[in-house]
Amino acid sequence: MNPIEGSNRIQTLDYLRGFALLGILLINSVFLLSARTPIPGTMDEHYWKFLYLFIEGRFFTIFSFLFGIGFYLFISRAIAKGNNGYILFLRRLLAMFLFGLIHSMYHPGEALSIYAVFGLLVLPLYKLKKELNLVISLGLLFVFSLVGMKVLLPLPMILLGLTAGQYRVFEQISAKKKKIIWFTMIAFILSVLALVYQNQQLPTQGFQESNSLYWFYYIGLMVGPIVSSFYVGAYVLLVQSSFFQRLFSPLKAYGRMALTNYLMQTVFIMIVGYGLNLSGQIHYLQSLFICLVIYLIQLLYSIIWLRFFHFGPLEWVWRMFTYLEVPPLLKRK
């Protein structure tokens, strides 16, 4: 075993960011390419079920949680270095908002601008006690999940991520392994129960707009954070093994360039949709094969890029905007 802890704790978060990006692309590709409504009884229908049972509402939740952890780490480390962490973070949020504003022209409903706004709302809670933040985040998560408001779910998840940072959840993971195993087992049992119930709500009249279809979507959003919790716990346990660290190492590079890769996902989808005139022409299952090609391209260039450069290209611009200085990009031998 080769636990990832101490100074390497960020590697665990990079693995998780890369993992989250995989699921985000699967959902975004379907919407941005306007995939055709599945025909009942086909492989398209089975893939549609897979997306809405295991992907939709799961991975953007993880991404929001990770943003909250990064929020805490950024400010606490900036303050520890004698900098004004709040001013730096406000500039960081402004840059994120601008990235999101441009991105929203091509991807309506994108996440970056929402994260920036919610990050601003959560900022005053940074100094609150971790116990209070835990109560607030779980309370908001319960309410927003109960009402099925997807656009608001990132807010409690960002605060929950900040709280996880306060509790130092991702530090010295090997010492907390038993607790993480218990957490993951409980999350697994709850996830199975939740997914079985959601699956039982599948409409019997196909994909016509109906109350049963809306209820199926609603249940998916409501139980999303539970399933996401299981994914995170299981994945964190896996990457404590040296075997899985090597197996998932491309995802670590993918996650280190999360901003670049998130925005580039949209670029690739736009190329497929408009450059190849496939928008509105593909089926659900065909979108999966498009995603696999995008994964391969992004994983390869992420690995190659980080061999020569310290940051992803947009991460470098983001850092430059945050610190108002030009950080070194090229690695020196």
Dist CA 70 CA 65 (whole Å): 9
Decide: 14 and 248 in contact? Cβ < 8 Å.
no
- The percentage of residues in the chain with a pLDDT greater than 90, rounded to a whole number, is 85
- The residues that bridge with 330 in the sheet, in sequence order, are 309
Indicate the pLDDT class of residue 165, thresholds 50, 70 and 90: very high
Mean pLDDT of the chain: 92
pLDDT of residue 6: 37
Q: Is the pLDDT of residue 4 over 90?
A: no
- pLDDT score for 208: 61
Averaged pLDDT, 305-320:
96
pLDDT at residue 206, as a whole number: 61
Q: What is the pLDDT of residues 5-27, one digit of tens each?
A: 434 447 899 999 999 999 999 99
Could you read off the pLDDT of 256-267 as tens digits, one per residue? 999 999 999 999
Residue 161 scores a pLDDT above 90:
yes
**Residue 40, pLDDT score:** 84
pLDDT classification of 3: cutoffs 50, 70, 90 = very low
| Concatenated DSSP letters of 178-225 | HHHHHHHHHHHHHHHHHHHHHHHT--SSTTS--HHHHHHHHHHHHHHH
pTM: 0.93
Half-sphere exposure of 215 (CA within 13 A, CB side): 11
How remote is the C-alpha of 160 from its chain's centroid? 14
Q: Are the CB atoms for 75 and 165 separated by under 8 Å?
A: no
CB distance 103 to 110 below 8 Å: yes
Summarize pLDDT for 98-146 with one digit per residue, the tens.
999 999 999 988 999 999 999 999 999 999 999 999 999 999 999 999 8
Comparing 3 with 292, the larger pLDDT belongs to: 292
**pLDDT exceeds 70 at position 205:** no
- The domain limits of the chain are 6-323
pLDDT at 171: 86
Check: CB of residue 57 under 8 Å from CB of residue 221.
yes
pLDDT score, position 207: 63
pLDDT bracket for residue 147 (50, 70, 90): confident
Torsion of CA 114, 120, 121, 127, to 10 degrees: 140
Say whether 309 sits in a helix, a strand or coil: strand
| pLDDT for 149 beyond 90 | no
> 161, 71 in Cβ contact below 8 A?
yes
Contact 154, 115 (CB under 8 A): yes
Measured distance CA(275)–CA(291) in Å, rounded: 16
